[in-house]
Amino acid sequence: MSKRYVSTRGNSPTRSFTEILLGGLAPDGGLYLPEVYPQVSRAELDEWRGLPYHDLAFAVLSKFIDDIPSADLKALIDRTYTASVYRHARAGDNPKDITPLRWLEPGLGLLELSNGPTLAFKDMAMQLLGNLFEYALDKTGAQLNILGATSGDTGSSAEYAMRGKHNIRVFMLSPEGKMSRFQTAQMFSLQDTNIFNIAVRGVFDDCQDIVKAVSNDHAFKEKYRIGTVNSINWARVAAQIVYYFKGYFAATKSNDEPVSFSVPSGNFGNICAGHIARSMGLPIRRLILATNENDVLDEFFRSGVYRPRATAQTWHTSSPSMDISKASNFERFVFDLVGRDAATVRALWDKVDGGGAFDLSSTPNFARIAAYGFASGSSSHADRLATIRRVWNDYGVMIDTHTADGVKVGQQYQEAGVPLICLETALPAKFDATIREALDREPERPLDLEGIEDLPQRFAVMDADATAIKGYIAAHA
């Protein structure tokens, strides 16, 4: 069976994996998904159980990719998932596991997804994306200029994935002086000549507006081969499916035991990968979606109403990577929820794209939420502090603010006899101010990142002016 991708809006031709690798939205404005989800048999699960991460990643991703020769795909994955790339494992963990499972107590585990170069789970997919992009561009000799806006995690993860890669340059806009010193240092200390940090005199939304303005200039976009690495990229979602399998195997002894996952969520990319793993046949009981005060997704899963917020109603919280008012991957799940009826998705997103909301509460589709395993909850700053303290006092483990949201909401749904795996989406070193507030101590920081704030920094400062930034790209592309 060939592995084709369809748009959630139903008006784009089907595509292969590499055809959608470098792109973003489908031409009809939808998101790509596999035409059918590949299924995993019991025999395959039994076979996969003992595989090391890179072999498991190859087995899973081969089910989604049929236009990269197997040997090439294998080599690329083997280079990505190594103990030297994911080198920040905690003391006592086996770094070769890539995503070690740490039990806090019997039945309650943390799946460590943040041991990559930038200490956040985005590295799990982005490192693979860097190698896939380089491979695809080497084939054609084409160049790609990645333009992005970041308030922290995505930008640094993209830069560490793309640094030194042939035919790729990264132009990353960030609001001047608004990121933490650690995050700034992580990005600005990169000396690679293909990485361009632009500190914009403005706020994050100004940066995002510039990216939109440049992307809407189709002539410029084409001439300079402008691309993005945002969370709607299908390859990122696909790469994240792997660790649901890995976590499942680590938490169980046989392939008929159910497991639940709790997922700190913003753009719905991470938990969407869990939904797909479950749809492939992995015995996941619950997918527990955790939000912070920006609870647009929690509201939907409780009420059936999806009501994206305006920027002015998006709160700046102490789990900032989840400060999302509109979840860019959510359309993928709704496509499945409405029975893959693209006309329904088009009608719903007509409302969303027009600044409105939709309500599925009285439809039979909404009643199927439970059948898909979803449950949800939200937490506050006070909850995060309490959870960080509790996990530290009870288990001697320091968790970051995003992971704390996941632990708090996950435990509300914990069931006897079903292991609960909380996804650790960042390390506490990234969010030192809240750690100090909660624990009155400094977070642990990996040794190789000691003193990173003192390294020389390489960046340009520019006004929030799309024309000037286009000029900068043209001069350096």
Active site residues per annotation:
122
Q: Is 379 in the site for ligand PLP (CB under 6 A)?
A: no
321: nearest Cα among 231, 408, 439, 200: 231
Q: Which of residues 321-350 bind ligand PLP (CB under 6 A)?
A: 321-322
For 72, list phi and psi in degrees, rounded to 5: -70, -45
Shorter beta-carbon distance to ligand PLP: residue 80 or 270: 270
Whether 448 and 137 have beta carbons less than 8 Å apart is answered as no
225 Ramachandran zone, left/alpha/beta (phi>0; psi -120 to 50): left
Kindly state whether residue 428 participates in binding ligand PLP, applying the rule CB under 6 A. Answer: no
Total residues belonging to the chain: 477
Place of tokens 């159910």: 258
Q: Which stretch binds ligand PLP (CB under 6 A): 81-89, 104-112, 260-268, 440-448?
A: 260-268
- Report how far residue 228's alpha carbon sits from residue 129's, in angstroms, rounded to the nearest whole number: 11
Tell me the closest approach of the beta carbon of residue 291 to ligand PLP, in angstroms: 9
Stretch that binds ligand PLP, among 21-29, 261-269, 378-386, 433-441 (CB under 6 A): 261-269
Q: What is the CA radius of gyration of the chain?
A: 21
Q: Which of 52, 25, 57, 42 is nearest to 131 (CA)?
A: 57
Residues 109 to 148 in contact with ligand PLP, rule: CB under 6 A: 120, 122
Q: Which residue has the tokens 């507030």?
A: 437
- Looking up tokens 């945002």 gives 230
Rounded-to-integer distance, Cα 8 and Cα 345, Å: 7
Nearer to ligand PLP, 234 or 268 (CB): 268
Residue 265: CB minimum distance to ligand PLP, A: 4
Of the candidate spans 20-28, 268-276, 371-379, 386-394, the one that interacts with ligand PLP by CB under 6 A turns out to be 268-276
Residues 283, 244: Cα–Cα separation, whole Å:
10
Q: Is 7 a binder of ligand PLP (CB under 6 A)?
A: no
Name the minimum Å distance from CB 269 to ligand PLP. Answer: 3
Determine the Cα–Cα distance for residues 230 and 220; give it in Å rounded to an integer. Answer: 19
CB of 248 to ligand PLP, least distance (A): 19
Please say which residue, 60 or 239, places its beta carbon nearer to ligand PLP.
239
> Among 49-57, 201-209, 266-274, 352-360, which window interacts with ligand PLP (CB under 6 A)?
266-274
Spatial contact of 322 and 425, defined as CB atoms under 8 Å apart: no
Q: Which of 109, 130, 266, 274 binds ligand PLP (CB under 6 A)?
A: 266
412-98-23-75 Cα dihedral, nearest 10 degrees: -150
Q: Which of 123, 134, 153, 383 binds ligand PLP (CB under 6 A)?
A: 153
**Can you tell me the distance from the alpha carbon of 307 to that of 352, in angstroms, rounded to the nearest whole number?**
8
Select from 156, 262, 270, 318 the one that contacts ligand PLP (CB under 6 A): 270
Using the rule CB under 6 A, give the single segment among 105-113, 265-273, 376-384, 467-475 that binds ligand PLP. Answer: 265-273
Question: Which span (66-74, 173-181, 197-205, 262-270) binds ligand PLP, by CB under 6 A?
Answer: 262-270
**Candidate list 267, 317, 379, 434; residue touching ligand PLP; CB under 6 A:** 267
Strands 5-7 and 32-34: antiparallel
Distance of alpha carbon 348 from the chain centroid: 24
Among 224, 268, 301, 459, binds ligand PLP (CB under 6 A): 268
CB 289 to ligand PLP: min, Å: 9
Q: How far apart (Å, rounded) are the C-alpha atoms in residues 159 and 182?
A: 15
Sign of CA dihedral 167, 83, 20, 355: negative
Is 295 among the residues that bind ligand PLP (CB under 6 A)? no
Q: Determine which residue in the list 269, 308, 373, 419 makes contact with ligand PLP, applying CB under 6 A.
A: 269
In the complex, the smallest distance separating the C-beta of residue 48 from ligand PLP, rounded to whole angstroms, is: 24
Is residue 231 within a helix (H) or strand (E), and if so which, with residue range? none
> Cα separation of 149 and 198, whole Å?
9
The residue whose two tokens read 């914990």 is 414
382-411 positions binding ligand PLP, by CB under 6 A? 402
Note whether 228 binds ligand PLP by CB under 6 A.
no
Q: Give me the residues that bind ligand PLP (CB under 6 A), please.
A: 120, 122, 153, 231, 264-270, 321-322, 402, 425-426
